[in-house]
């Protein structure tokens, strides 16, 4: 009897080895190759371009408009990673090195100015030893977009260029390091495709983490929209609490993150989290599809920057409707989808903000 059981077990393992993966493992592998790795590679390329442009701008071979476009590309690529923050980038406070938000006390401006006062000939090592507040895109945005700075003036450009160049190199190196950890043998990509491993006992754990990160990102989008709208300050608008108020990129960031979350749901070839729902859960899938479409369309209909919308009654109404739509999408996945997939969501990084 024991002999027959052993044979059956070995046969089962052989079938799995022949490619008959369980559904969770197939989805995890498909999302890794079709969604996660492409997004991380795009982010790495955007940061490579950011670093190259910083050098070109400071050498006088690229203008301010090109510098700003390179920044917006890097910012959009980073926003697109928000629903995909599993593994190396979610560890060791690395994400803080990319973006510092919320900046409730204008620390970015104060720390950038203090750093340059103390280190006028700033080096890459100086930046590595400095606060995360000045290492990332928020500080870069301050230099390029703050209304009180004028990089057309040679003196100001000479003052801020060493920091622009150092941030560009820092972001490029960080992105290369993270993508390297994804692609390495026994790295993050392999851990999402081969089970068990030191990170995940089985594919169910991987899917659970992907869903948790997606849900957390949607909650984060609500916070990034709600803070400037005044939802945490008795309805009094706080435009300077917007994620990217200087570059007027707040809503574009929302769009990039939302698109990434939806791609995790659908997959690049209808092989995402949605495919784990059975026929008896088709209604839930349709409602989540409709919720994504509603939020996406409301966001696309906003044709002014967030700051302008906050100053206008019709704009505030549209923002409130977008927030409510985003909240419905978040709740659908946090409660009903999580329950359908037997995933415990628990604490997320935005709780208590």
Query: Which CATH number do you get for residue 123?
Result: 1.20.1420.20
Q: Which of 157, 185, 213 is the C-terminal boundary of a domain?
A: 185
Task: Please check whether residues 90 and 230 belong to one and the same domain.
Answer: no
Task: Please check whether residues 212 and 277 belong to one and the same domain.
Answer: yes
Task: Please check whether residues 89 and 141 belong to one and the same domain.
Answer: yes
Region 63-88 average pLDDT: 98
Task: Please check whether residues 243 and 300 belong to one and the same domain.
Answer: yes
Domain that includes residue 51, residue range: 22-185
Output 17 or 150, whichever has higher pLDDT. 150
Q: Is residue 346 part of a domain?
A: no
Q: What pLDDT is stored for residue 167 in this prediction? A: 98
Q: What pLDDT is stored for residue 12 in this prediction? A: 46
The CA dihedral of 180, 89, 248, 234, to the nearest 10 degrees, is: 180
Task: Please check whether residues 130 and 253 belong to one and the same domain.
Answer: no
Number of domains in the chain: 2
Is pLDDT above 60 for 7?
Answer: no
Q: Which of 130, 152, 185 is the C-terminal boundary of a domain?
A: 185
Task: Please check whether residues 278 and 137 belong to one and the same domain.
Answer: no
Cα gap 167→112, rounded to integer Å: 11
Task: Please check whether residues 270 and 142 belong to one and the same domain.
Answer: no
Region 227-244 average pLDDT: 93
- pLDDT confidence tier of residue 21, bands split at 50, 70 and 90: confident
Task: Please check whether residues 251 and 297 belong to one and the same domain.
Answer: yes
Q: Is residue 348 part of a domain?
A: no
User: What are the tens digits of pLDDT across the range 150-209?
Assistant: 999 999 999 999 999 999 999 999 999 999 999 999 999 999 999 999 999 999 999 999
Distances (CA, A) of 279 to 44, 143, 178, 283, 285: 39, 53, 38, 9, 10
Task: Please check whether residues 178 and 52 belong to one and the same domain.
Answer: yes
The share of the chain scoring above pLDDT 70, in percent, equals 92
Q: Which of 135, 156, 185 is the C-terminal boundary of a domain?
A: 185
Q: Is residue 160 part of a domain?
A: yes
Task: Please check whether residues 118 and 89 belong to one and the same domain.
Answer: yes
Output 53 or 104, whichever has higher pLDDT. 53
Q: Is residue 5 part of a domain?
A: no
Q: Is residue 195 part of a domain?
A: no
User: What are the tens digits of pLDDT across the range 22-72?
Assistant: 999 999 999 999 999 999 999 999 999 999 999 999 999 999 999 999 999
Is pLDDT above 80 for 240?
Answer: yes
- What element of type H or E holds 351? none
Spatial contact of 323 and 222, defined as CB atoms under 8 Å apart: yes
Q: What pLDDT is stored for residue 346 in this prediction? A: 79
For 237-274, b/e burial (b = at least 16 CB within 10 A) is: bbbebbbbbbbbbbbbbbbbbbbbbbbbbbbeeebbbb
CB atoms closer than 10 angstroms to residue 289: 14
Task: Please check whether residues 281 and 230 belong to one and the same domain.
Answer: yes
Q: Phi first, then psi: what are they for 102, rounded to 5°? A: -80, 145
């Amino acid at each position: 009897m024991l002999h027959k059981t052993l044979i059956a077990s070995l046969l089962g393992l052989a079938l799995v080895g022949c490619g008959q993966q369980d559904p969770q493992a197939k989805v995890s592998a498909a999302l890794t190759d079709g969604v996660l790795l492409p997004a991380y590679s795009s982010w790495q390329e955007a940061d490579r371009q950011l670093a190259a442009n910083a050098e070109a701008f400071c050498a006088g071979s690229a203008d301010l408009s090109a510098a700003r476009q390179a920044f917006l590309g890097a910012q959009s690529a980073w926003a697109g990673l928000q629903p995909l923050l599993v593994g190396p980038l979610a560890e060791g406070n690395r994400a803080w090195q990319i973006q510092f938000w919320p900046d409730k006390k204008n620390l970015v401006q104060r720390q950038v100015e203090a750093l340059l006062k103390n280190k006028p000939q700033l080096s890459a090592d100086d930046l590595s030893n400095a606060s995360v507040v000045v290492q990332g895109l928020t500080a870069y945005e301050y230099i390029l977009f703050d209304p009180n700075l004028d990089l057309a003036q040679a003196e100001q450009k000479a003052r801020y260029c060493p920091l622009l160049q150092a941030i560009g190199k820092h972001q490029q190196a960080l992105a290369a390091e993270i993508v390297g950890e994804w692609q390495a043998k026994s790295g993050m990509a392999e851990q999402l495709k081969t089970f068990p491993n030191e990170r995940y006992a089985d594919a169910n754990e991987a899917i659970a983490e992907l869903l948790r990160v997606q849900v957390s990102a949607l909650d984060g989008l609500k916070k990034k929209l709600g803070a400037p709208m005044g939802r945490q300050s008795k309805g009094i608008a706080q435009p300077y609490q917007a994620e990217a108020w200087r570059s007027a990129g707040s809503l574009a960031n929302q769009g990039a993150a939302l698109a990434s979350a939806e791609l995790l749901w659908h997959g690049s070839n209808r092989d995402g989290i949605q495919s784990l729902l059975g026929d008896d859960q088709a209604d839930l899938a349709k409602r989540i599809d409709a919720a994504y479409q509603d939020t996406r369309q409301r966001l696309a209909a906003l044709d002014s920057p967030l700051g302008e919308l906050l100053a206008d009654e019709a704009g505030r109404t549209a923002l409130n409707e977008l927030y409510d739509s985003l909240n419905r999408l978040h709740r659908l996945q946090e409660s009903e989808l999580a329950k359908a997939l037997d995933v415990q969501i628990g604490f997320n990084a935005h709780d208590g903000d």
